[in-house]
Structure formats: structure tokens, C-alpha cells
């Protein structure tokens, strides 16, 4: 068994070894390598104390020095090197209140959450798998290291991590671990909402976003947030084919809510404003018809950036697919029974998509940036800066959304002149 790692990681291990310390890659990168997935980062665990790591490497960054972590930069990549440690009691933060360094690798692996995350590897010694991580990877099982109930009591976030890893890997939770999740579940209410949200987001952008339903089957919903607890699991459908964009996956989860309800849930979970605004807009626009004429479509496009509009179409498509699946399972006929000439919702969406492509190819103006006149142009032609100017630009945009051929500087300025002449 051999793991290929970046040569920088290997050099860090070798350098620590050369100074008489043990060193291994550990955790997520070992798990992902064994699954033949490209790891996101390469974490290193070592018997060297933080001060010793620093003196071996000279230039390091104190990223989590109180927990024994220093970062070594190699090019643009940071390698986190953490001293073997035994964790004390966890607080409601990312890290335990106290840590104790140890010279024993096994102790360090024991503090980790799941067997699949508790393996270490070095080219010299190969894989160190004390708790059956390989067995669980092969069986597709999430299992706590040690006594599950104790591990969830130490840090309740591990409950959501268990579900999140299931969603990322398509795994199942081992029975005893599952029972402990149900028993310790209420502790999740005391975990910071930022950490909860980060785990839910990782779950939603994974290849099995509908595993979010496990939150309900484990009765955790009311520990997430009051608004989240009002979601109805049977109505949740998130197409795994949707691009793994944070705002899009959250919008798909919240598409049956009103924009206010969706925003409330995200606020409870301390979501960033950018994501919140995007989700709110998608949730609001999703049930509204766009219309089929190029002008109607340009109007819809003008309400959001291109990327968001594409997301809206994908979201609408996934909604139709899921409604059709539901209808099929209830044996209601859909597309086939719709009279000729009427387009099915899916055909409508295809047509919209074709028109959007044409609009973009032609370069029709769909936002203020594409308008042939700017605020400065209007000022040059005698308008005063201020609210009126903004209104005028908006009116011009509305005009060219209807008549894209008018989007020429001279044409628009002439129209304005005529209007103002007429108004006087
Ligand atoms: P990802 O980076 O995709 O979130 P990961 O497994 O690398 O997955 P990290 O949060 O980066 O997860 O943590 C790195 C390692 O630290 C984990 O593999 C695990 O061994 C350990 N770990 C992280 N969080 C916890 C926790 N809450 N309890 C116990 N061990 C943890
Ligand atoms: Mg990681």
C-alpha cells in the first residue's frame, strides 16, 4: 500500500525524521488518498513539539500554536504540522479547551472522530490503521473511534460531521454510532451556529445533498434552528446534478419557503450576506413564470447577474423534474396529456434556455453595465447627478429591454432630448 503525496509534504516528513522526530500525514488526506480522491490539504502529525517544529523549519506561521499547530509554506500551499496531542474537554468552539502534548501517535489518533479519519501514513512505515479505518472505508461505514456516546458528548458537532461524511462519501452510519447520535443529539443545540452551518453547507454541496433528511430521521432539526425545524423532510428534493454551489444548494433546500422564511433560516444559521441575498432572490423568482418572449426573458435576466440567472433556470428545471417524478409515482400523467401546441414546463424551459443563448450571442443589453449610455454621458449632456439621473438610466434600460436595437449612444441621447423637449 503506497500513498502518493506532494513532494513538499514528503520533504517535511523527511526533515522531521532527520531531526529525530516521528512524522506522518494524517486524517482527511489519508482517507481521501485511499478512496483515490484528490485531498484538499495535507495535514501532518508529529512527535516534535511546536517549538521544535519551528526550530527545524525556521520560517513557520503560528496558525493554532495553542493547539500545537504551525503552518509551513511551500509555494502557495500551507502544510499544517500539529504535535501529537490528547484533547481535553471541548468547548463550544472549533477546538478543545485544553490540549496535552504526547509522544505517542496512538494517543493522537484516538482523539480523532471517526475510524476513517484516524489513519496516518508515512513512506517509511506505510499505513498506520489502529481502529479499522480501511475496513470501514471498504464497507462504507462511519464509525466513531472508541465509545460513540462519549465522543459525541465531548463534541456534539461530530454528530453533524458523521452525517456530512455520509453525504460526501455515500456511506452509512454504524449502528452503535447511530444510536448514540439519537441519544446525544440534543447537545447539538449548544454548538455554535457557524460550525453547524459550515457542516450543513458541506453536506448540501456534496454528491448526496438529500442526505440532509438524515437530520430529520435523527430528530436533530430542532437543534439546528427554529426555522429549520419547520422544513418538511418529505418535501425536500435536491437534485445532486445541480452544480455544487453553496447558494444554489441552499436555495434548492429552501425553495418551498417564502423569501422571508428562507432568509430567517439562513440568519439563524449566521449565513454570510452574499449567500443570503442570492438564496432570497432565487427562492423569490423560482415560482414566478419568466415568460417566453425575448423581451420578457431579457427583463428577467436584468434582475440578477448572469451566473445567478443560470442558477435560477437550473433550479426551475430541478423543480419540474422533481414534480414530474412525484406525479409519475402517483400515476398522474403530465406531459403526454397536455394538449398539442401547449408546451410542457420542461419544453418551456428549453425554449427559454435557447432564447437566453441567442440574447447573449447577440449581446442584447440586459443590465445597466451594458447600456450604451452611462451616467457620465448624461452629465455631459446637461443632467445633474442624483436620483433623477438614476431613474433616467433605469428608464432607458427598460426601453432597450423591450427594443434592444435602440441600444446605441446616439439613439438613446436623441430619444432623451426629444422626451425632455416634449416635457417642456
Ligand atoms: P474536510 O477537510 O473535508 O472537512 P477532514 O477530515 O480533513 O475533512 P478537517 O475538519 O479538516 O476534516 O479535520 C482534519 C482531521 O482532524 C480529521 O480528519 C479528523 O481526524 C480530525 N478532526 C477534525 N474535527 C474533529 C472533531 N470535531 N473531533 C475529532 N476529530 C476531528
Ligand atoms: Mg481537511
Q: Greatest CA span in the chain, whole angstroms?
A: 89
Place of cell 432623451: 416
**How many angstroms separate the CA atoms of 300 and 312, rounded?**
10
Shortest-distance Cα residue to atom 27 of ligand 1? 158
User: Which residues are near ligand 2, the ion (C-beta closer than 5 Å)?
Assistant: 28
pLDDT, greater one: 399 or 338: 399
The answer, yes or no, to whether any atom of ligand 1 lies below 6 A from the CB of 27, is: yes
C-alpha cell at 89: 474537554
CA distance 84 to 107: 7
Please report which confidence band the pLDDT of residue 93 belongs to, taking 50, 70 and 90 as the band edges: very low
Q: Does ligand 1 have an atom closer than 6 angstroms to the CB of 119?
A: no
Q: What pLDDT, on a 0 to 100 scale, did the predictor assign at position 421?
A: 75
Contact assessment for residue 213 and residue 245, using Cβ atoms and an 8 Å cutoff: no
Q: How far apart are CA 327 and CA 81, in angstroms?
A: 54
Does the global pTM surpass 0.85?
yes
Nearest CA to ligand 1 atom 1: 28
- Mark residue 220 as left, alpha or beta (left: phi above 0; alpha: psi -120 to 50; beta: remaining): alpha
User: How many angstroms separate the alpha carbon of residue 198 from the centre of ligand 1?
Assistant: 13
- Residue 203 Cβ inside 6 Å of ligand 1? The answer reads no
Q: Alpha carbon of 413 to those of 5, 210, 318, 365, 423: distances in Å?
A: 62, 53, 43, 16, 15
Q: Which of 24, 28, 89, 143 to mutate to test the pocket of ligand 1 (most atoms within 8 A of CB)?
A: 28
- Is the per-residue pLDDT at 359 higher than 80? yes
CA 267 – ligand 2 centroid, Å: 26
| pLDDT at position 96 | 73
Comparing CA positions, the residue from 223, 162, 153 lying closest to residue 188 is 223
First-last CA distance in the chain: 85
Query: CA-to-CA distance for 94 and 330, rounded, in angstroms?
Result: 46
Q: What is the DSSP string of 363-376?
A: T---SGGGSSS-HH
Are 349 and 290 in contact by the 8 Å Cβ rule? The answer is no
Tell me the pLDDT of the chain averaged across its residues. Answer: 94
Asked if the model's pLDDT at residue 241 lies above 50, the reply is yes
Amino acid at each position: 500500500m503506497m500513498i502518493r503525496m506532494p513532494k513538499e509534504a514528503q520533504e517535511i516528513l523527511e526533515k522531521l525524521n532527520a531531526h529525530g522526530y516521528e512524522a506522518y500525514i494524517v486524517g482527511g488526506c489519508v482517507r481521501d488518498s485511499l478512496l483515490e480522491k484528490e485531498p484538499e490539504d495535507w495535514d501532518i502529525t508529529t512527535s516534535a513539539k511546536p517549538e521544535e517544529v519551528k526550530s527545524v523549519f525556521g520560517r513557520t506561521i503560528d496558525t493554532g500554536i495553542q493547539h500545537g499547530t504551525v503552518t509551513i509554506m511551500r509555494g502557495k500551499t500551507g502544510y499544517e504540522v500539529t504535535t501529537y496531542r490528547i484533547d481535553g474537554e471541548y468547548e463550544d468552539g472549533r477546538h478543545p479547551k485544553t490540549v496535552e502534548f504526547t509522544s505517542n501517535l496512538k494517543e493522537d489518533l484516538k482523539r480523532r472522530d471517526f475510524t476513517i479519519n484516524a489513519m496516518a501514513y508515512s513512506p517509511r512505515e506505510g499505513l498506520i490503521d489502529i481502529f479499522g479505518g480501511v475496513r470501514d472505508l471498504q464497507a462504507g461505514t462511519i464509525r466513531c473511534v472508541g465509545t460513540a456516546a462519549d465522543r459525541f458528548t465531548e463534541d456534539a458537532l461530530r454528530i453533524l460531521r458523521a452525517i456530512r461524511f455520509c453525504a460526501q462519501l455515500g456511506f452509512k452510519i454504524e449502528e452503535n454510532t447511530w444510536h448514540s447520535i439519537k441519544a446525544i443529539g440534543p447537545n447539538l443545540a449548544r454548538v455554535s451556529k457557524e460550525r453547524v452551518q459550515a457542516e450543513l453547507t458541506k453536506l448540501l454541496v456534496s454528491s448526496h445533498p438529500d442526505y440532509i433528511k438524515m437530520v430529520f430521521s435523527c430528530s436533530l432539526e430542532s437543534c439546528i434552528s427554529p426555522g429549520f425545524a419547520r422544513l418538511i423532510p418529505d418535501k425536500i428534493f435536491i437534485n445532486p446534478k445541480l452544480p455544487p454551489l453553496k447558494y444554489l444548494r441552499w436555495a434548492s433546500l429552501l425553495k418551498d419557503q417564502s423569501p422571508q422564511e428562507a432568509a430567517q433560516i439562513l440568519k439563524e444559521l449566521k449565513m454570510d450576506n452574499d449567500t443570503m441575498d442570492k438564496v432570497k432572490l432565487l427562492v423569490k423568482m423560482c415560482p414566478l413564470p419568466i415568460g417566453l418572449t425575448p423581451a420578457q426573458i431579457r427583463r428577467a435576466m436584468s434582475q440578477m447577474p448572469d451566473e445567478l440567472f443560470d442558477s435560477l433556470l437550473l433550479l426551475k428545471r430541478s423543480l419540474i423534474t422533481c414534480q414530474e417524478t412525484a406525479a409519475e409515482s402517483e400515476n398522474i400523467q403530465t406531459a403526454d396529456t397536455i394538449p398539442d401546441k401547449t408546451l410542457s414546463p420542461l419544453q418551456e424551459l428549453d425554449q427559454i434556455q435557447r432564447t437566453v443563448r441567442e440574447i447573449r450571442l447577440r449581446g442584447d443589453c440586459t443590465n445597466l453595465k451594458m447600456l450604451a449610455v452611462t451616467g457620465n454621458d448624461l452629465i455631459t449632456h446637461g443632467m445633474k447627478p442624483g436620483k433623477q439621473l438614476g431613474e433616467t438610466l433605469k428608464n432607458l434600460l427598460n426601453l432597450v429591454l423591450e427594443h434592444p436595437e435602440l441600444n446605441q449612444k446616439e439613439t438613446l441621447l436623441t430619444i432623451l432630448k426629444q422626451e425632455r423637449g416634449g416635457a417642456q
